Amino acid sequence: MMLSVPSHTQRGRFITFEGLDGCGKSTQLEKLAGVLRAQKLPVVVTREPGGTATGEKIRQLLLDTKTSSLAPLAELALMFASRAQHIAEVIEPGLTEGRIVLCDRFTDSTEAYQGGGRKLGHEPVLALHGILCGNLWPELTILMDSDVAKSVDRARRRNKTFSAGSGKAKSDENRFEQESRAFFGRVRNAYLAIAAREAERVVVVDARGTPEETHKQIVEVVRRKLKLGNEYGLNSPQSHRATEKTSRT
């Protein structure tokens, strides 16, 4: 079957993944990228905060456990500083070149974590988005909903493992995971409020099952919401399994 690959004259597609720390976002984003790349589609995989040399420096400052007493508004400003550079350097060029940009977190994370978790509300987040990001929003946001306690525990174990493997005395990306379960409860509630408000863009995926079960849900959502059927080789779960089998051989 001949696949239609986006040309440089056709704007790309922007898909974001959202959810609590430890919900499996990064794993699922990479799995989706693998499916799309198996169809010879141009894919950009990136993340926030970070995604650029400047953004990664901001990420280190934001997530390092040694960064203490950071005011919520300062945290908010740093998130958007990283995002503005990310849009200019990675996201917009990728979309202009007709690529499918898969991003681990975007403004919804800021509204959930800083707006909800830090109790800043959604108004300053959306105001800064309008100033610094313009009208750029994802076509599709996959919100991976998960149990708060299990997700945070998983994230903490992951960062401890990373820290031990790197020989560092302390994890360098564990600052948010040290927050209380009440904090993450507010984050989850903010995410669900966003999904209710932005029902056309945000699709809630139950991430409590196995990674493979979650992956199948996500592939179906992408196929259905963005109409990536025959054009992108995402016709059905059967064709997806055939693609996976081919990619392993």
- 185-197, pLDDT tens digit by residue? 999 999 999 999 9
Q: Among 116-120, 137-141, 163-167, whose mean pLDDT is lowest?
A: 163-167
Contact between residue 89 and residue 32 where contact means Cβ atoms under 8 Å apart: no
Within a domain: 246: no
Round to whole Å and give the CA distance between 85 and 92. Answer: 10
Within a domain: 234: no
Q: Among 167-171, 195-199, 208-212, 221-225, whose mean pLDDT is lowest?
A: 167-171
74: nearest Cα among 116, 124, 19: 124
Contact between residue 91 and residue 136 where contact means Cβ atoms under 8 Å apart: yes
Q: In terms of residue numbers, what domain contains 157? A: 13-29+42-209
Average pLDDT for 226-237? 60
Within a domain: 118: yes
Within a domain: 19: yes
When divided into structural domains, the chain yields a total of 1
Within a domain: 245: no
At residue 87 the predicted structure's pLDDT band, cuts being 50, 70 and 90, is very high
CATH number, domain with residue 81: 3.40.50.300
pTM of the model: 0.85
Round to whole Å and give the CA distance between 112 and 20. Answer: 9
Q: Among 35-44, 73-82, 147-156, 186-195, whose mean pLDDT is lowest?
A: 147-156
Within a domain: 34: no
Within a domain: 220: no
Within a domain: 86: yes
More confident residue, 55 or 154: 55
Average pLDDT for 228-245? 50
